[in-house]
Structure 1
Amino acid sequence: MSENIVLTTGVYDLIKDHLRRKRTTQEEEQILLDQLKTAKQVLRKELPEDVVTVNCEIKIKNISTNEEEKYLFVQTDRQKIKKGKYSILSPIGLATVGNKVGDVINWPFEGGEKQFEIVGVERFN
């Protein structure tokens, strides 16, 4: 996992609000609080192209299985999992948001902790 995540101010506020509403597990909450303490906040136009944020498609590689998966991250009200669109506040969104291509992440999912690498990020409007 990268030392400091990079977030737009809007996404930073969105995550803080999500935590205030207690919509995460205690373990996720602690990880996110630690990340937010050191997160670098930037304007959207200043966000590096390889950083995971809202309105982007990412490709991740599971470290233990070597399998790759793609996720399309959208605003919470536009989530349509059957169409492959996930909220940035979904478990996989929270695990990856603010990280960049090349980062390896350990995250406590429902089925147990998983380790994966971000291998691609592509933005869209």
Structure 2
Amino acid sequence: MSDNIIVTTGIYDAIKDHLRRKKVSQNEENRLAGELRKAKQVLRRDLPSDVVTVDRKVTIKDHTQDFEHEYVFVSTTKAKPKKNKYSILSDIALATVGYKVGDVIEWPFKEGERKIEILKVETFKE
């Protein structure tokens, strides 16, 4: 698993703002704050293509609930869950943002701890 998440400065700032507004559970806030302290910030063009970020299609295996699902992470203004487009600040996106293909993450979701694995990350174009 990656030691540090890799995020763009824009995503870093958006997550910090999201935390300030208390939009996540206390466990998620603690985890995200810790991740951000160690995060490597890069320019969008320097972000590796296998890292979860905005405008990427991500396939995730949930080992806890035993299912695979594909998510498209978009900006908050373009989120349409019925069309499988989730805000980069949604719970599942916050759990995986900055991680890369092959990483397995134990995350304190609101409904409890879950173990998820990133199987695939692809660029998403509308």
Which category of TM-score, normalised to the shorter sequence, fits these structures?
over 0.9
Indicate yes or no: 2:55 matched with 1:55.
Answer: yes
Aligned to 1:14: 14
Moved >6 Å (runs of 4+): none
Instruction: Find the counterpart in structure 2 of residue 28 from structure 1.
Output: 28
Corresponding residue for residue 82 of structure 2: 82
Amino acid at match of 1:95: A
1:32-51 alignment runs, 5 A limit? 32-51=32-51
Structure 1 gap segments, 5+ residues each: none
Q: Give the paired residue count.
A: 125
Deviations 1:75-106 (CA, angstroms, capped at 9, x unpaired): 01111111111001000000000000000011
Moved more, 90-99 or 56-65: 56-65
Q: Could you say which residue in structure 2 is the equivalent of 1:93? A: 93
TM-score, normalised to structure 2, is 0.94
- The one-letter code of the counterpart of 1:2 is S
In the alignment, the residues of structure 1 paired with residue 19 and residue 110 of structure 2 have an alpha-carbon distance, to the nearest angstrom, of 18
**What stretches of structure 2 of length at least 5 have no aligned partner?**
none
Identity within the alignment, % = 58
Pairwise CA distance, 1:67: 2.3
SS of residue paired to 1:2 = coil
TM-score by length of 1: 0.95
CA shift in 2, pair 1:19/1:66, >3 Å: same
CA distance in 2, matches of 1:31, 1:83: 29
The alpha-carbon deviation at position 62 of structure 1 amounts to: 1.7
Give the aligned CA root-mean-square deviation in angstroms. Answer: 1.1
